Amino acid sequence: MRKSFGKRLAAMVVSVLMLVTVLGGCADSASGGNSVVTSDGKVQISFWHSMSGNNQEVLDQIVEGFNASQDQYVVVAENQGSYDESTGKFFNMANGAGSAHIIQIGEQNLQSMIDSGMIASISDLIEKYDFDDSDLLEQVVNFYTVNDTLYVMPFNCSSPVVYYNKGVFDAAGYTEFPSTFEGISEAAAAIAAQNDSITPVGMYAYGYALDQMVTNMGGYIINNENGRASRATEVSYQDQITQIYDWIKSLQDAGYLLNYGTDGTNTISGFTQQQIGMFIASSASARNVIDSSEFEVGIAPLPVPEGVEAQGVYAGGGALCAAAGMDEQTEAGVMAFFEYVTSPEVQAEWASGTGYFPICHGAYETETMQNTYAELPQLEVAAQQLLNSQVNSITAGPLLSQLPQLRTDLQSALEAVFNGSDVASAVEQAVSSTNSAITSANEGVAN
Amino acid sequence: MGVKTMARKRKAQNAKRKQGKELKPKKRLPLWIIYLLPSMLIFILFVIYPFIKTIITSFFATSNTGALTQMVGFSNYISLFTSETYLHSLGTTFLYTILTVPLTVIISLMLAVLSSSNLPGMGVFRTIFSSTMGISVAAGSVFWNLLFHPTAGLLNRIVQWFGGEPIGWLTDTNFAIYSIAAVSIWMNIGFSYLVLMGGLKNIDDSHYESVEIVGGGFFYRLRKVTIPLISPSLFFVVTISLINAFQSFGLIDMLTSGGPNNSTNLMVYKLYNDAFVNFRFGLASAQGIILFILIFLISQLQTKLTERLVTYQ
């Protein structure tokens, strides 16, 4: 009983159709570069960011503000997870359809983005669109400038700071927050002596804060002048990080320290529930911490060991990349958005609502910003810490594709110290892990 | 009965089929190819091609977008096996597997046996025991993260109420892996329970009646009837749990990020970090291949060891 030819043909047609469906899904993504136009004729610009919670709400308002301010473009903002996750997705999309036109990155992703060749040079765009960049903070521009080319548009700048419970420190006789490791240790002892219910210092392993503390103490994080003179080949933070860990270990051994692992959220909730007296975190959370605490929150610059002059910090936080190879229309829209978000008034609104500080001089003069700083002077601390920083190759900040790995290793080492390991072997472990990562990553860009 | 009889039957059927076939003309276009084509294509596109590509990538250094830049031979593998972090990660993964798999299976088997009777109200318990199946890893992690909170968490409050020192559930290197394992067992019980329950419900009552005639007790019944008869389900649950344990990622990512000091840095989490955070795809591919070989060997070993214990009705 032979099957008819028709049946076989039908089976073949069905298979081919299914195949087309499968491959068709893939083919779509090869059509990148063309602008997407919405039904009401606006050019759609896709914006990937890594803001969540309170900061995301403020960002959404700004995007809405831009969309309402003109009728040519519409920016669609999407949270794509952390900076590192979002960068990874961006690489995987290879600038195909559905990928971002604007992507927000953290300072640790800068070298990777440049290496990928998937982002446009902002310097070129600035020239092409006559963008006025004279008002941008030089510290920030310096960080993101590599070989005289600015690769990203500064947007959200932050620096790690000390958050402390003002009431608790006042009660222990410290109305002025100590600026040195030793001073904080003494204050911790005083707090422990007169307040049973609170652990003086809370801490979580936070790589970004650790490498900023190295910078603040005048150390290069990686060799070849932080990777700015030529591509870095190994870490060089050993002396400073040993001092930092020794200090943390002494706090822990004295029972003044509570360790929160790597969980920043838990640290913040421990602080707002008055279980710890101080902690170190990015200023980005400042507004959130202040608003959710029922006591007065003090913010202070990063401490240094006695006898060391604070150098200041590099311009951390995030910035906006523009994808390479956009068509004219989209590119113009991206630049219009950049112009909007770096304008003084928008930067002031952004900084007031978050804990980032404005990246243009003009914003500091606006009424919004001045009112905010008058009402919440703490928010100004992070900005001052950066603005007062010395301008040299140390505070230019590290340039390294393996910066996320470097930070993870610093975190692991600190967690080892938290768990009783000795400082020297913890540092050694971090150094060897990061160095081998740098070697293997450099192999990948060698040719 | 069982495997051997089935094999014999199959042989007989094949022989019959062969005889029939010889009578027919051999010109037919092999239709099965067309029927298989769609699934073969999908399989080749999403499994075989990536697999071969992974093998190739594992011998290269890559740029951060994944392009192969330099052939490095076995250097990725060598650097893995000489890396303390990776060996530690291997060890941790084995520990985690040993912690989670037996307990998950034993607990869900106990729960299934206890709730398989037809007493009134059992439905409530069955729903509760299988409910973790409906909880996503993300939601479960958020919930447990609150319980584990070093100062405000419920668990430490209980410890302190009994006069103990607060415990760093996720921040102490001696505790973290056990905390994660506990959550993982809790999360996986739902699925194992459901599968084993299905197996139990398939057992014909007549078997139990025979036990009653012989006069066997609860444990006799469990050992001689229940476990042998649900052995296919048990085998399935153990295999799946093993593979899942080797591939666990979500809980780690949400709760500890591999910390403290790499004490929960399991193989897949490390692989993910090397590939998608540090963009060292060559190294990550090598880890993928090692993981594949490991899971392959362990599944083989497990099949060899337990095959004869499994009886199919």
| Min distance A399 CA to chain B CA atoms (Å) | 14
What DSSP line would sit under A236-298, residue for residue? Answer: --HHHHHHHHHHHHHHHHTT-EEE-TT-HHHHHHHHHTTSEEEEEEEGGGHHHHHHH-SSPEE
Rounded to whole angstroms, how far apart are CA atoms B17 and B23? 10
- Please write the tens of the pLDDT for every residue from A234-266: 999 999 999 999 999 999 999 999 999 888 888
Residue A446: the pLDDT is: 57
Mean residue pLDDT of chain B comes to: 87
C-beta separation of A286 from A268 below 8 A? no
Q: Is the predicted pLDDT of residue A228 greater than 80, yes or no?
A: yes
pTM of the model: 0.82
Task: Give pLDDT, residue A447.
Answer: 46
At which residue do the structure tokens 């091609």 appear? B49
Give the strand pairing for A102-106 and A43-49: parallel
Mutate to test the interface with B, among A275, A408, A434 (most CBs of B within 10 A): A408
Q: Which pLDDT score, from 0 to 100, does residue B25 have?
A: 55
Q: Note the Cα A16 to chain centre separation in Å.
A: 48
Number of CB atoms found within 10 A of residue A344's CB: 18
From the list A84, A88, A258, the residue facing B150 with the nearest CB is A258
Residue A26 is predicted with a pLDDT of 43
In a domain, B31, yes or no: no
Amino acid found at B50: P
Residues B3, B266: Cα–Cα separation, whole Å: 37
Q: What is the model's pLDDT at position A168? A: 94
Looking at residues A50-77, what average pLDDT do you find?
94
- CB of A168 closer than 8 Å to CB of A184: no
Residue B221 lies in a domain: yes
Task: Check whether A28 has a pLDDT greater than 50.
Answer: no
**Residue linked to tokens 């219009």:** A336
Residues of A in contact with B173 (CB under 8 A): 415-416, 419
Confidence at residue A29, expressed as pLDDT on a 0 to 100 scale: 36
B36 in any annotated domain = no
In-domain check, residue B28: no
If pLDDT is split at 50, 70 and 90, which confidence band does B293 have?
very high
Is the pLDDT score of B198 beyond 60? Answer: yes
Instruction: Give domain status of residue B208, yes or no.
Output: yes
Q: Quick one: angle between helices A344-353 and A378-387, nearest 10?
A: 120
Query: Would you state the structure tokens that stand for residue B94, as one six-digit string?
Result: 């084995």
Write the pLDDT tens digit of every residue in A312-331.
Answer: 999 889 999 999 989 999 99
The token duo for B181 is 């394992």
Per-residue pLDDT at A390: 87
CB contact under 8 A, B64 and A401: yes
Nearest to A15 among B34, B65, B152 (CB): B34
Provide the pairing of β-strand A36-37 with A43-49: antiparallel
Q: Which domain holds residue B125?
A: 43-309
Report the C-alpha gap between B155 and B153 in whole angstroms: 6
User: pLDDT tens across B6-42, in order?
Assistant: 556 565 555 555 554 555 555 667 888 888 999 999 9
Q: Are strands A153-158 and A36-37 parallel, antiparallel or unpaired?
A: unpaired
How far A433 CA sits from the closest chain B CA (Å)? 8
Mean pLDDT of A267-288: 93
pLDDT band at B221 (very low <50, low <70, confident <90, very high): confident
DSSP percent split of chain B into helix, strand, coil, nearest 5:
75, 0, 25
Structure tokens at A128: 């092409």
Compute the 3-state secondary structure of chain A and give helix, strand, coil in percent, each to the nearest 5: 55, 15, 30
Residue of B nearest to A272 (CA): B152
- The domain total for chain B is 1
Domains of chain A: 36-158+316-375 (3.40.190.10), 160-312+401-445 (3.40.190.10)
Give yes or no for B261 touching A (CB within 8 A): yes
Residue B287 lies in a domain: yes
The CATH number covering residue B47 comes to 1.10.3720.10
Burial of A411 (0-12, 13-18, 19+ CB in 10 A): buried
Give me A362's structure tokens. 């003009």
Q: Is residue B224 part of a domain?
A: yes
Partner A contacted by B250 (CB < 8 A): no
The SS3 assignment for A323 reads strand
